[in-house]
Amino acid sequence: MTRVQIPAGSFKMAKFKGNIKNLIGKLEKENKNFGGKKYAVFMPHFCIDLLAKFKGNFSLLTSSTHFETKNTIKEGGKATNSAFALASLEISSAIIAKTNEAGFALLKNFKSKNKLKNLDISHIKTDGKLASTCAIEMPDKNIMLSDAGSLKNFGIALLSTDDFELLKHSEFVSISDWALNEKGTELAEKVFKFAKRNNVQTFFDPGDPTPKIKSDNAKNIKNTKNIAKEIKEILNQTDFLSVNEDEFKFYELGDFKGETKIIEHTANFSSIIKKGETIAKIPSFDVDVKQLTGAGDTFNSGFIFGDMGNFEEKEKLILGNAAAAYYISNPKARHANIKDIIKFLKTAKIKEI
């Protein structure tokens, strides 16, 4: 009898497709309306995002000029992006942040436009400064121009008694944009300690470390070793840490052996690492990318949705990848609901890794 040898890659791909099929079955059968019983809180950033899609060549810029771009104005900030994405998946979500009256009026408009009745924005403080970001999206890279507004000094003192009550009765609390917040370490450590005392899971997305490195005042420049050390101190109270491949390297996580589950998400794959060992890894989906800003935040929400639904580790990654892939390929930058995720998974193309 002649044995047909199947390449290892083909076997793994077939197994992965089986994982997707099983996940679709669970989504269709087991998780209808479970979101209303769960609650997640995201903090501390809301901003206005201007997404400018530019197809020209910035390297040719030698003097003042005018470029034509295709612009989109939408809600932004890692916390806000994640809350919108999770609320779209029918998980009740809340945002704690600080802006001004104009910013809050825009946020209400964005919430209404997305028909997110389960998104709580009543914990937004309106006596601050509006934050804004211009993301110039080019074929080979992104350039982010950010005014952090009130995020820059968002510390624990800004949380009210009502905010702590909200945190106490939630299932997840997520802190992000640590690198843009000068009080980010204090906020993360104290909020996460409070959360752990109340059996609330903690999720940390520190973001691009660049703002921590590049300062106008040379005396405030921190070297990479100090920044990596600071992150690892926060991880003592962190259940999940979410980073991309550049952040993984910068924060020196390759030798981290703590209990925190590190979620690494890249353009080609996502993985979960615990105590230095990869416990789950899956390929990304192959889609026609319309925008990239907010992809990681949306991935986080898909993953949190999976954890709240008690899905298996690989299934959590699939949900994160699917939520992100749907969002970045949607012409209107719209977040997926559960039906969208199911439909997407049934026809999705998978990248080879």
CATH code of the domain containing 332? 3.40.1190.20
Say if 2 falls within a structural domain: no
Q: What is the pLDDT of residue 276?
A: 93
Structure-block tokens of residue 18: 């089986």
Domain coverage including residue 249: 35-45+77-131+151-347
Residues 46-72: tens digit of each pLDDT: 999 998 887 766 666 666 777 778 888
Other Cβ atoms closer than 10 A to 62: 6
Whose CA is closest to 85, among 240, 301, 324? 301
- Give the pLDDT confidence score for residue 11 in this predicted structure: 47
- HSE-CB at 148 with a 13 A cutoff on CA atoms is 17
CB 66 within 8 A of CB 49: no
* Whether pLDDT at 5 is above 50: no
Residue 226 lies in a domain: yes
- Confidence class for position 3, pLDDT limits 50, 70, 90: very low
Between strands 142-147 and 131-137, the pairing is antiparallel
Q: With contact defined as beta carbons under 8 Å apart, do 283 and 314 qualify? A: no
Residue 71 lies in a domain: no
Q: Quick one: angle between helices 313-329 and 338-347, nearest 10?
A: 90
Residue 103 is encoded by which pair of tokens?
């910013």
Cβ neighbours for 228, distance < 8 A, ≥ 6 positions apart: 250, 251, 252
pLDDT tens for 186-231 read: 999 999 999 999 999 999 999 999 888 865 444 444 577 889 999 9
Q: Of the candidates 126, 127, 143, 124, which has an alpha carbon nearest to the alpha carbon of residue 135?
A: 143
Using a pLDDT cut of 90, give the percent of the chain over it: 72
Instruction: Measure CA 220 to chain center.
Output: 28
Distance from C-alpha of 19 to C-alpha of 312, rounded to nearest angstrom: 10
Quick check: is 315 in a domain?
A: yes
Residue 177 has which token pair?
């944009």
> What is the average pLDDT score of the chain?
89
Give me 162's structure tokens: 């009502």
Please check whether residue 298 lies inside any domain of the structure: yes
Does residue 68 lie in a domain region?
Answer: no
Q: Per-residue confidence at 338, pLDDT binned at 50, 70, 90?
A: very high
User: What per-residue confidence (pLDDT) applies to 1?
Assistant: 39
Q: Is 136 among the domain residues? A: no
Whether the upstream peptide bond of residue 44 has omega within 30° of 0, thus cis, is: yes
At residue 77 the predicted structure's pLDDT band, cuts being 50, 70 and 90, is very high
> Are the C-beta atoms of 84 and 336 separated by less than 8 Å?
no
**Separation CA 226–CA 228 (nearest Å):** 5
Q: In a 3-state reduction of DSSP, which class is residue 62? A: coil
194 in any annotated domain: yes
Count structural domains, the chain.
Answer: 1
pLDDT confidence tier of residue 120, bands split at 50, 70 and 90: very high
Give the residue among 186, 24, 61, 43 at the shortest CA–CA distance from 121.
43
- Residues 143-196 have pLDDT tens digits of 888 899 999 999 999 999 999 999 999 999 999 999 999 999 999 999 999 999
User: Hey, CA dihedral for 326, 329, 331, 334, is it positive or negative?
Assistant: positive
